[in-house]
Structure 1
């Protein structure tokens, strides 16, 4: 399903749903960041997706990272809770979702890089090379907050 992100756009459609999503800033032992190139919007992103009934947020992020990247992770911390009413995502089925994502830090513990139906490429990226990628501002905020290493989680 394709999607269109509207960010601080006065002409954006009004949100008609809200779903809990999770994401993870995963760094390997070299300090590189696990990134995907999304199939639904063509942007580069940290892995993540929607939480399912019966999961905790931590279980959801472990599942999403594995599904999108092939990498097994363990959750190590909380970057923050990101929900901006000025960021809505319109899907081609008519859903217009307000952003709401719980972002974790995580360490890789196994698996091997692989793509999925949600990721056309997957890789470990040096933090200084992120500026060369097309990354949505809401994902940039999560990455920046995660790299800054604040003791307290971010929230809006």
Structure 2
């Protein structure tokens, strides 16, 4: 269930190069949601998946762009980030 838009995120300097030679520029639309069912499942773009407590977030290794999105989501902002 969607609870609202956290923000839109892009950075022309953040390019993602895949092993098959494809290169993409990141663009994300992030929503705050409430999980109402289902199970976590690994995809082609993930190697590990688990729920973590909010108190563990600062210790997780992640790209600074991911940390920004997560920080904004946890701040409960009244307006979405547009950047």
The equivalent of 2:60 in structure 1 is: 133
Q: Report the Cα distance in structure 2 between the residues aligned to 1:122 and 1:85, rounded to whole angstroms.
A: 28
> May I ask how many residue pairs the two structures share in their alignment?
83
Structure having the higher strand fraction is 1
TM-score w.r.t. length of structure 1: 0.49
The equivalent of 1:124 in structure 2 is: 51
In the TM superposition, residue 91 of structure 1 has moved relative to its aligned partner by: 1.2
1:81 and 2:11 correspond: no
The equivalent of 1:21 in structure 2 is: none
The alpha-carbon distance between structure 1 residues 97 and 113, as it changes in their structure 2 partners (threshold 3 A), is closer
The alpha-carbon distance between structure 1 residues 90 and 115, as it changes in their structure 2 partners (threshold 3 A), is closer
The equivalent of 1:99 in structure 2 is: 26
In the TM superposition, residue 80 of structure 1 has moved relative to its aligned partner by: 0.4
Segments of 5+ residues of structure 1 without an aligned counterpart are 1-73
The alpha-carbon distance between structure 1 residues 139 and 120, as it changes in their structure 2 partners (threshold 3 A), is same
The equivalent of 1:90 in structure 2 is: 17
Segments of 5+ residues of structure 2 without an aligned counterpart are none
The structure 1 segments of at least 4 consecutive aligned residues displaced by more than 4 Å after TM superposition are: none
The equivalent of 1:148 in structure 2 is: 75
Q: With CA pairs under 8 Å and 6+ residues apart, which has the higher RCO, 1 or 2?
A: 2
RMSD (CA atoms): 1.5
Q: Report the Cα distance in structure 2 between the residues aligned to 1:135 and 1:153, rounded to whole angstroms.
A: 22
